Structures are given as C-alpha cells and as structure tokens.
Structure 1
C-alpha cells in the first residue's frame, strides 16, 4: 500500500486504522452509530450479498449523513469485523477521537514539564469484553489519562465492549501497543513507574505513597498478572482486603484504583 504524502514528507508512518477507528458490526449497532449525532462515522462496508429492510435503513441513514458506503465480499466483511457469526453483512468504522498509539501519547507527555503528573491503567490479558467495557467507562469517568489496551491479549473494542461501557468506549482515552509487556516497557523507558495490582503485595494502594507518574496494571480475571508483564514491573501494590475476601473482580479493582488515583490528584 502506498504511503500518504504526509508520511513521505515527515518520515512518520501513517497511523493504523486499528488505532484510529472502532469497528462496529451488526445491523442494529451500525444503525445506532449512524443515528448518534455525537459519533463521526468514517465509512460503512456492506457484504455484496446483504439484503433486507434493516440494510435499507442503514443505507438511508448513511446517505443522510454523507457517510460513504463500500461493498466487499461477505468473507471480507467477516475478516474486517473479526467476528464470523454476528456481523450480519455490515460494519462501520467509527472515529475514536481519544484513541492513539502509546508512542504518540508519550511524545506529547515529553513536551510537558517533568513534574506534570499522569495516571494510566494497563490491561494485561483481561479477556472478558464486559470487564473491558466497564474499565473504560470507569477510567473515563475518573479522568484517567489513558487506558492501555494491547492489540493482542485483550478483546477488540466491539459491540460487547461498547455495550458494557454504555457507549463511553467511543470517547475513552485508549492507548495502543502490540502487547501489554511491550507497552509497559515503553512506559518505563519514558520515566513512568509501572506497578501491578497484586493481592500479595506489601505496598497498599490506599495508604502508601505513589509516584506522580504511574501506570497501574490489571491482570487476567483468573490468573492475574502474566509472567511477561511481571518482568516489566517496577513493583506491585495491593488493594486492602477485609472479611476473608481474597480478590475483587477486575472491573471492581479498576474502579477502586481509578478513584484512588483521582482522590490523590485532587488532594
């Protein structure tokens, strides 16, 4: 594929569509995106064998908003949607204005004074789309600067994630890296302390000091932090537990972490 003229002039490769758009598939979600005035829909792609009244409504809504419509084979639509069972022959690329590659965020942070705080979350192999969506909603509500969603090991932002976030996923401050471990390494190289949430940690998230620039890593719902990510941590912190409870659901742990970071920022 030819590079854009901007890329050739600057030497910076063009941003991947996966770091620019959220792909919505299925007829109802696509129609909802088209009829939501808060969302910018870049394009619609329909399967060349798609038929039906609901498709007509999608095409009419796209025409009303001036959204281009492209056709592709049914197989191509399934590949682009990343879901072979629920695309229903149509998808939409919706602009996610706060989603960007992690290096873009770090470059912007580097231009700020060194004492400028930042608070980030990293999801390490969190596989439940409902949990991902709830984390994005909570992090956005608490004003977290970014949530690192690696391209591998975490579900794509799909209709299940969007539903769990109550639509907030479209405007969440999502940062992208290839893997959680690679993202953690980039954060540490930029001077951000990376701390994993772990039940056996001796440092308390609620009581002990935290760095001004910190990223908290949330592990898998069952297995916790992966070995690859543990190798990239500066340390671990724990959420205090009482009443014999061993751990919290990852979305609940994220809520505690987000609002503790907000509390410290506003103190």
Structure 2
C-alpha cells in the first residue's frame, strides 16, 4: 500500500549517483556524492557548471545566434526574469546596460550558465555590436517597446544574428537606446492595458526569434 501523501513537495533533482561513479571529466565529484538538486534538465545532471556552459556554447550554430540586452537604471526586478528566459532559449550572451549591479533573485542562478556582459550605456553596447558577429561583422540591434514608429513583432522577420534590446519596466527604452536600434518592434495587444510586463515581453520576443531561427 502506498504511503499517504503528507502534502510535502517532491524533492527537486536526483540523489547521489548509484553505484560506481562515471569516469568522465564533465561530472562533478561533489554532485555525484551528494546529489544534484539544481534546476537543470536531465541531460546536465551531475555535470559541472563549466561543462554545461561549454556544451551550451557548442549547440549554437554560428549563423543563428541571439544576444539579449537589458537597460538597468532602476534596479528593475524583471531583469532576473529576463535572464532566466534567456537561459531557457540558450542565448549567446546577456548584456546589462547601465548599472553594473542588477537584481539576480529572479534569475534563479541561471546566470551562471550564461555569458553576462556589462556596458556602461547604449553607446557602449553599440560599439560592442559593431564587430560582434562571427566574422567581425556588425550585429543589428532590435529594440522591443511600444513606442511611436515601432513595428509589429509578429509581422517582422528578425535577423538570425542580432541583439534584442529591452528597457525598464516602467519607462521602457531610453531615447539613447532607441537611437541605437536598427528597428524597434512592439507586441500587438488586444486588451485594455497600455503595456506588457517587461519580463513577459522579453519571453515573447525571444520565443518569436526561436520560432523563426532556432
């Protein structure tokens, strides 16, 4: 007879490796001995962080690479959520524009598996993007905000190699960030709210890119 359910949540992950541990440098001896409770897919159970990062890097085709940039002026709580989504879509890099320190709580330590870069302002991001392509070519910057002159995301073919740039939750893209963009797109809405949550908008934009190129 099964034991009664006491309402406690099931443990996340896996316990210690059963039997003889594998002789593979990708595996972490501490995790093998004590279990892996991290929020990672089964493919990466017991792997070291460095091994996971290397494998993720190798799974991005050179001709289809997405970068995500986020303006950080007001310690926006949504930045962590954007970073976590960026990990889910295996972006090539996350770029924090503005304040170097950002609220990592919502990232749920997924930033450990990403390449996170800092740029002092939109101009610095533009300078980086000018030669960031695989052969030193420029990466186009696509802003995401419902500002005058923006075009519907769902009607736009996104570049296979590009940077998606997001603004703050309350104020959106700054004028300097808008000026740095090759194009600004918006997500068409059908309700009464003026704008989407920044984290939700970022998830939709990344998924749109993935539908077209991943």
Q: TM-score under structure 2 normalisation? A: 0.62
Return the alpha-carbon distance in structure 2 between the equivalents of residues 178 and 239 of structure 1: 27
Segments of structure 1 that go 5 or more residues without pairing to the other structure are 1-36, 39-95, 99-112
Q: Which residue of 1 aligns with 2:128?
A: 186
Q: What CA distance in whole angstroms lies between the structure 1 residues aligned with 2:200 and 2:100?
A: 18
1:119: how far off? 1.1
Native 8 Å contact 1:194 1:216 kept in 2:
yes
What is the aligned partner in structure 1 of residue 108 from structure 2?
Answer: 166
Distance 2:116 2:192 in 1: 34
Long gaps (5+) in structure 2: 1-29, 32-48, 52-60, 132-136
Contact 2:157-2:212 within 8 A present in 1 as well: no
After superposition, residues 32-181 of structure 1 pair within 5 angstroms as 116-125=63-72, 127-150=74-97, 153-154=98-99, 156-157=101-102, 160-161=103-104, 163-181=105-123
2:157 pairs, out of 184, 188, 209, with: 209
CA spacing shift, 1:202–1:156, aligned 2, 3 Å: closer
Judging changes above 3 Å, is the alpha-carbon distance between structure 1 residues 260 and 236 closer, same or farther for their aligned structure 2 residues?
same
Q: C-alpha displacement at 1:245, in angstroms?
A: 2.4
Quote the Cα distance in structure 2 between the aligned partners of 1:193 and 1:243. 31
Identify if the C-alpha distance between structure 1 residues 243 and 233 changes in structure 2 by more than 3 Å, giving closer, same or farther. same
Give the 3 Å change call, closer, same or farther, for CA 186–167 of structure 1 in structure 2: closer
Q: Structure 1 residues 224, 202: CA separation in 2 closer, same or farther (over 3 Å shift)?
A: closer
Task: State the distance in 1 between where 2:150 and 2:116 align.
Answer: 30
In structure 2, the partner of 1:228 is: 176
**CA gap 1:155/1:178 in 2 versus in 1, 3 angstroms:** closer
Q: 1:260, 1:243 → 2: CA distance?
A: 20
- How many Å separate the matches in 2 of 1:128 and 1:254? 17
> Which structure: greater helix fraction?
1
1:141 Cα deviation after fit: 0.6
Cα distance between partner residues in 2 of 1:125 and 1:165: 15
RMSD: 2.9
Q: Which residue of 2 aligns with 1:196?
A: 143
Supply the distance in 1 between the matched residues of 2:203 and 2:159 (Cα, whole angstroms): 19
1:8 equivalent in structure 2: none
